[in-house]
């Protein structure tokens, strides 16, 4: 009898706990989307075309190689007018499926860039050359928010 009572109380507690957990789950009208790496760039005055030439050549070549390898979903460049002398005027954006994909492929991406752009010494020389035509204001890791409930 005592054993049956304990079993009934345990079963009741389990059902009550499951009810609380189920009702505590909130159905939100949004969910996480892809992850973007956003570089905020200031092109130096008079050097806009020089930097756009770099974007249209080496940067695009690197992005296309990452896309072909399945490491990124897409990429884009957004240009805007600067509102002050220290304001940015370009965004370089690279889209990844999710944060796990981005982190899992960091070494693989570095190896791919070594074959597409060149070794570390060549890449560092490219960084030095680009210092003359642009300044990187910031690089942010951002997450897209999809304004629909999670499927």
Has this prediction a pTM greater than 0.95?
Answer: no
Identify the pLDDT of residue 75: 98
What is the distance of C-alpha 11 from the center of its chain?
Answer: 46
Q: Each residue of 97-124: b (16+ CB within 10 Å) or e? A: eeeeebeebeeebeebbeeeeeeeeeee
Least reliable range by pLDDT among 59-63, 72-76, 91-95, 123-127: 123-127
- Residue 41 confidence class, pLDDT cut points 50, 70, 90: very high
Lowest-confidence segment of 40-44, 116-120, 138-142 by average pLDDT = 116-120
Q: What is the pLDDT of residue 72?
A: 97
CATH, domain range 31-146 = 3.30.70.100
- Does residue 57 have a pLDDT over 90? yes
| pLDDT: which is higher, 3 or 99 | 99
- Please tell me the distance from the alpha carbon of residue 86 to that of residue 135, in angstroms, as a whole number: 10
Per-chain mean pLDDT for the chain: 89
Reported as a pLDDT band with limits 50, 70 and 90, residue 85 is confident
Residue 93: predicted pLDDT: 98
Q: Provide mean pLDDT across the span 46-59.
A: 96
Which residues contact residue 69 at a Cβ distance below 8 angstroms, ignoring those fewer than 6 apart? 108, 112
Report the C-alpha gap between 145 and 35 in whole angstroms: 9
């Amino acid at each position: 009898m005592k054993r049956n009572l304990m079993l009934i109380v345990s079963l009741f507690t389990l059902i009550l706990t499951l009810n609380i957990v189920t009702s505590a789950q909130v159905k939100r009208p949004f969910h996480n989307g892809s992850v973007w790496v956003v570089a905020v760039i200031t092109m130096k005055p008079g050097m806009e075309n020089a930097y756009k030439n770099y974007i249209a050549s080496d940067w695009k070549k690197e992005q296309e190689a990452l896309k072909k390898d399945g490491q990124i979903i897409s990429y884009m460049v957004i240009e805007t007018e600067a509102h002050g002398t220290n304001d940015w005027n370009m965004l370089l954006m690279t889209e990844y499926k999710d944060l796990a994909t981005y982190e899992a492929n960091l070494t693989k991406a570095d190896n791919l860039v070594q074959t597409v752009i060149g070794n570390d010494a060549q890449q560092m020389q490219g960084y030095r050359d680009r210092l003359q035509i642009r300044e990187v204001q910031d690089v942010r890791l951002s997450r897209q928010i999809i304004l629909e409930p999670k499927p």
